[in-house]
Amino acid sequence: MRRVLFAVLAFLAAGPAWAGGSACDADVSSLSMSAIKTIADKPVSAADADHYEPPLAFPMHSPIIVDVDWKKPDSTRYQLCLRWTDASAWTAIEPSVVTQNGVATLEGDIPALDIAPILKKPLVWLANSVWLMPVTSLRVLAVDPLSGNALAYGDTHIGISVPMAAGGLALLIAVGVLLVLSRCKVGDLAKDQPLLRIITTPDGRASLSQFQLMLWTFVVGACACYVMGLRGELVDISNGTLVLLGVSAAAAVGGAMKPAADIAAVPPSWSQLILENGEISPTRVQMLLFTLISAAFVVARVGATGEIPEIPVNYQLLMGISNGIYVLPKFVTKAS
C-alpha cells in the first residue's frame, strides 16, 4: 500500500510523461511541413525556410510570438524548438497557447542558447549572420498530448540579437573612425591629444560647436550601428535626433564666423569649451551641459530599448535656443 501511495504521489508531482518533455528531436521526415503564418505579427513566406534571411530579430530572454493556422484539435500541444543553424541539438521552449478563430498563438521566452557552436566555427557564424546577428533555426511542432508523437511541423529562421556583439561592432567602428580623423589633422595643433585634434579650428582653439557636432555624429552613428547589429537591418533615425544633428551643424557653421582679431593665440585645451576671453561663459556652459545630457539620454535609451529614441519637441526647442544664444553674439560681433 505504501509503495502504491508513493507511486501515485510521484506521478502527480511529475505530471504526465509528455508534460515538459521535448519533442524537438522527433523524426519529422514522414510528416508534412505546415506553413507558419506569422512571427510577431510579421508574415512568414515559405521561402524563409530555405535561406538565411530572418524575418525578425529577437533579443535574448525576450518573448517570441508565433501564429499558426494548422487544422489541429484544440487539445493539440505545441512546442517551439531553437538551434543554431550548424548545430544538431535543439533547445525546447514550452509556449503558452491561445487559440482563436482557428489560429493558435504561441508565446514563449527565448532561452540562453549555448554559444559554443558559433565559437567553434566563427566563419560559419559570420557567413550565416546579418550584421553579426546570429541566425537560428526555428521549428514549431504540433504534438499529440496523449502519445507525445509529432503531428505536424513548420521550419523557418529567426535572428537572435546578441547585445555584446552589436556593442563591440559599434565601438570598433567608432574608435576606428576616431583614429582616422585624429590622424587627418595636420600641423602641430594638439599633436599629443588626438581627441582635441578633431575639434581644433585652424586658428588653434578647441571649438565647442565642433565638439558638439562631432559628439552627435559619433553618438548617432555608433547607436545606428548598434541597433543594426541587433536587428540585422537598416533602422529609422528619429526626427528629433535628426533635428539635433541639424542644430549642431548650424552651430558649427555659426561658430566659424568669429572674427580672427578676437581670437587669442593660445594652445588648444579642453577648458576653451567653456571659456570666452579667459572667463567662464554661461552660454557655453549651458550649451555643453545640454549637449552632454542629450547624448547620454540617447545612448542610455538605445542601450535599454534597442531603438533610437524620439527627442521631445520641447527639448529640441531648448537645444535650438541654447545653440542660438551661443551663436548670436558672434553675428553681433561680426556686424559691429
Model confidence over 135-172: pLDDT tens digits?
788 899 998 888 888 889 998 888 877 777 788 888 98
User: Helices 208-231 and 282-305 meet at what angle, rounded to 10?
Assistant: 0
Stretch 38-45: mean pLDDT: 79
Segment among 8-17, 43-52, 64-73, 93-102 with least mean pLDDT: 8-17
| pLDDT band of 14, cuts 50, 70, 90 | very low
Q: Which of 106-120, 139-153, 185-199, 226-240 tops mean pLDDT?
A: 139-153
Residue 314, pLDDT > 60, answer yes
pLDDT of residue 127: 63
pLDDT of residue 332: 59
Complete DSSP assignment for 34-76: ----EETTEE--GGGGGSS--S-EEETT-EEEEEE-----TT-
Residues in the chain: 336
Stretch 219-242: mean pLDDT: 83
pLDDT of residue 43: 79
The percentage of the chain sitting over the pLDDT mark of 70, rounded to a whole number, equals: 74
CA–chain centroid gap for 20, Å, is 32
pLDDT of residue 101: 84
Complete DSSP assignment for 179-225: HHHHHH--SSTTTT-HHHHTTB-TTS-B-HHHHHHHHHHHHHHHHHH
pLDDT of residue 20: 41
pLDDT of residue 149: 85
pLDDT of residue 59: 66
pLDDT of residue 30: 85
Copy the grid coordinates of residue 317: 526647442
Copy the grid coordinates of residue 246: 541639424
pLDDT of residue 141: 92
Domains and their CATH numbers in the chain:
30-161 (2.60.40.10), 165-258+267-335 (no CATH)
pLDDT of residue 140: 93
Residue 80, pLDDT > 90, answer yes
Which position has the higher pLDDT, 183 or 152? 152
Copy the grid coordinates of residue 18: 509528455
Cα angle, residue 46 at apex, residues 97 and 111 outer, rounded to 5°: 45
Stretch 169-180: mean pLDDT: 86
Tell me what the pLDDT averaged over the chain comes to.
76
Dihedral sign for Cα 123, 124, 125, 131, please. positive
pLDDT of residue 136: 83
94-121 pLDDT per residue, tens: 899 998 888 899 999 887 777 677 667 6
pLDDT of residue 219: 92
* Residue pair 201/214 in contact by the 8 Å Cβ criterion: no
Distance CA 54, CA 138 (A): 10
Stretch 274-278: mean pLDDT: 82
- What residues have CB less than 8 Å from 299, skipping those under 6 apart? 219, 223
Residue 335, pLDDT > 50, answer no
pLDDT of residue 78: 92
pLDDT of residue 237: 83
Copy the grid coordinates of residue 105: 498563438
pTM for this entry: 0.68
| pLDDT band of 304, cuts 50, 70, 90 | confident
Stretch 303-309: mean pLDDT: 84
Copy the grid coordinates of residue 93: 521552449
pLDDT of residue 74: 77
pLDDT of residue 2: 39
Stretch 61-71: mean pLDDT: 84
